[in-house]
Amino acid sequence: MSFNDPLSDMIARIKNAAERKRSKVSTPASKLRGRVLDVLQEEGYIRGYALVEEAGKHPEFEIELKYFDGAPVIAEISRVSKPGRRVYSAISELKPVKNGLGISILSTSKGVMSDQAARAENVGGEVLCRVY
């Protein structure tokens, strides 16, 4: 199975699993997905993830979703920059998500990071997704 946008596929899987109240969801592994999952874990949106490798199969990430009082911690996650329309932002132009309650995940020259970390590093980049 080939994907045009693997990050959108992962986001859709996370959304669907959270909506169905699943504790775990699997997605094919890649470096970009791993870095985005690192940011989600650092910011407290997921419990964690693990790389699962089986003989003869493509490695997968098993993502453990986080819930608070029965509701998913990730209320909304959406892709901003898409293959057909890339969205880049200077750090001065990047607005807070939900008045500071959410995060934007950026791909910068210094790696994939949250908007708060990008402000601290004073770098802009491609806005991959928004989470709140």
Non-local CB neighbours of 28 within 8 Å, separated by 6+ positions:
6, 9, 58, 59, 60, 61
In a domain, 92, yes or no: yes
Q: Which CATH number characterizes residue 93's domain?
A: 3.30.1490.10
User: Would you state the pLDDT for residue 58?
Assistant: 95
Tell me the residue range of the domain where 42 lies: 6-131
In a domain, 86, yes or no: yes
The per-residue pLDDT string of the chain (132 residues; one tens digit each, 9 = 90 and over) reads: 457 899 999 999 999 999 999 999 999 999 999 999 999 999 999 999 999 999 999 999 999 999 999 999 999 999 999 999 999 999 999 999 999 899 999 999 999 999 999 999 999 999 999 999
Number of folded domains in the chain?
1
**pTM given for the model:** 0.94
In a domain, 47, yes or no: yes
User: Would you state the pLDDT for residue 2?
Assistant: 53
**34 token code pair:** 């791993």
Nearest to 35 by CA among 131, 105, 122, 132: 105
In a domain, 1, yes or no: no
